[in-house]
Structure 1
């Protein structure tokens, strides 16, 4: 898993904060993340401002660890970042 993701317990989840250089980059990332969510039918909690996005991927309610589907989604988010200009990389 990319070092940018933090795995948390209670509740089980993955979290990541992304910083972008400008609003246009943030908006482009959000649009592409929405397409990824629709394609994989995984809908993370996302909050954002002009130049940042916070992403939280929650495991199933009774899960004791983050499953492979969420880890794959996180990897695909990371792949989206390779074509974006972020400040955290």
Structure 2
């Protein structure tokens, strides 16, 4: 999965990141944790030895949740953590 996948039910963005080693996976998770703390935005995360699945739900809750430019920008910021 190279791109963020947009789902309609429930409204969210999803992406799977794959790594060569557990060490690389942990490094990414550490960077993601630091970034989440700095931005106060916390995605849903599941992971294994060499992968991380991330789900971003709309930042704004309401009767008709929708993904915003801020949600997509946060997804781009997560992509930037791969460096």
Q: With structure 2 as the length reference, what TM-score do the two structures score? A: 0.88
Counterpart position of 2:76: 75
Counterpart position of 2:11: 12
**Cα offset, 1:61, TM superposition:** 3.5
Deviation beyond 4 Å, 4+ runs, structure 1: none
Gaps of 5+ in 2: none
Q: With structure 1 as the length reference, what TM-score do the two structures score? A: 0.83
The structure with higher relative contact order (CA 8 Å, sep 6+) is 1
Counterpart position of 2:50: 51
Summarize deviations over 1:30-64 as a string: whole Å, max 9, x none: 00000111111110000000000000001144244
Aligned length: 80
**Cα offset, 1:67, TM superposition:** 1.2
**Cα offset, 1:68, TM superposition:** 1.8
User: Cα RMSD over matched residues?
Assistant: 1.3
User: Is 1:37 aligned to residue 36 of structure 2?
Assistant: yes
How far apart, in 2, do the equivalents of 1:40 and 1:71 lie?
14
